[in-house]
């Protein structure tokens, strides 16, 4: 099962950190495709490939987030990519994979991934109406019921009225379901917020794990509204963080950089 990671021109500078942490805590054998607009000019591990979703201007990604007069909640405009959903629908519609893992580039994996649990969960996707399986702890914090227990892992089903069934946190999606919920002219934020009610009672079963802290893919969300989220970045192991600073992977070249 391939992992796909979405980025934008704004977030491209953090890609080397993401790739390093992914291979350290998941596996350098796991194939990853980075879905971008302008391909980043950086060296990546051999298990990472790049796929452009199209020219950034076609989807509103040509203007830097938080540039004067646009991009951000303060300016009343969608951000960071107003037509993210359009670019993703074009990509997903031609995808041959029946299901896949989707992540966002600002989710930094910081602890070992439980690959065995992911392998167990993958068996349920596309079966019995299951269209999505959350790989974080997100579904545990919303109304749910026990769906199955396997190898000591409690698998839960998200209530049909639960909030954020549309979440873009790390998850396994079926291709057909993902395509069906991609409405035109939506940024990632709008996909989650506007799609929240649309994905209630829509017939799809969404699973997760009964865990309060981290799911099979533990990660830190290091950006918030386009700015570096220092309280999350500081939770990364000090030695690893120091190493990435020394390599020049973390620094003021990050967009949204504000000194803590």
Q: What's the pLDDT score for residue 67?
A: 60
Region 100-108: what's the mean pLDDT? 97
Helix 238-246 with 15-25: angle, nearest 10 deg: 140
Q: Is the pLDDT of residue 50 over 90?
A: yes
Q: What's the pLDDT score for residue 73?
A: 61
Q: What's the pLDDT score for residue 226?
A: 81
Q: What is the pTM of this model?
A: 0.95
Tokens describing residue 119: 């392998």
- Residue 37 CB-half CA count within 13 A: 23
Q: Is the pLDDT of residue 148 over 80?
A: yes
Q: What's the pLDDT score for residue 196?
A: 92
Residue 62: name the closest of 82, 35, 85 by CA. Answer: 82
Residue 216: name the closest of 140, 129, 106, 105 by CA. Answer: 140
- Digit-coded pLDDT (tens) for 170-204: 999 999 999 999 999 999 989 999 999 999 989 89
Q: How far apart are CA 65 and CA 139, in angstroms?
A: 30
Distances in Å between the Cα of 156 and the Cα atoms of 100, 126, 133, 148, 166 are: 20, 16, 10, 7, 16
Tokens describing residue 100: 């896949």
The domains found in the chain, sorted by start residue, are 3-135+164-202+217-246 (3.90.550)
Q: How far apart are CA 227 and CA 25, in angstroms?
A: 25
């Amino acid at each position: 099962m391939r992992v796909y990671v979405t980025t934008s021109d704004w977030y491209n500078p953090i890609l080397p950190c993401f790739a390093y942490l992914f291979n350290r805590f998941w596996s350098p054998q796991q194939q990853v495709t980075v879905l971008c607009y302008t391909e980043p000019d950086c060296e990546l591990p051999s298990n990472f490939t790049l796929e452009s979703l199209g020219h950034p201007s076609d989807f509103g990604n040509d203007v830097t987030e938080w540039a004067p007069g646009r991009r951000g909640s303060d300016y009343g405009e969608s951000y960071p990519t107003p037509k993210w959903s359009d670019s993703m629908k074009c990509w997903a519609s031609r995808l041959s994979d029946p299901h896949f893992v989707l992540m966002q580039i600002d989710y930094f994996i910081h602890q070992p991934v439980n690959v065995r649990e992911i392998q167990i969960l993958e068996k349920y996707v596309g079966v019995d109406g299951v269209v999505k399986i959350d790989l974080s702890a997100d579904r545990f914090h919303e109304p749910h019921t026990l769906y199955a227990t396997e190898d000591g892992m409690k698998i839960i089903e998200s209530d049909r009225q639960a909030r954020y069934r549309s979440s873009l946190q790390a998850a396994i999606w079926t291709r057909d379901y993902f395509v069906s919920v991609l409405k035109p002219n939506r940024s990632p934020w709008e996909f989650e917020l506007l799609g929240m009610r649309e994905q209630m009672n829509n017939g799809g079963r969404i699973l997760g794990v009964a865990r309060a802290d981290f799911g099979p893919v533990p990660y830190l969300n290091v950006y918030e509204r386009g700015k570096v989220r220092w309280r999350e970045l500081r939770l990364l192991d000090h030695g690893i963080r120091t190493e990435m600073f020394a390599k020049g992977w973390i620094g003021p070249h990050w967009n949204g950089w504000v000194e803590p």
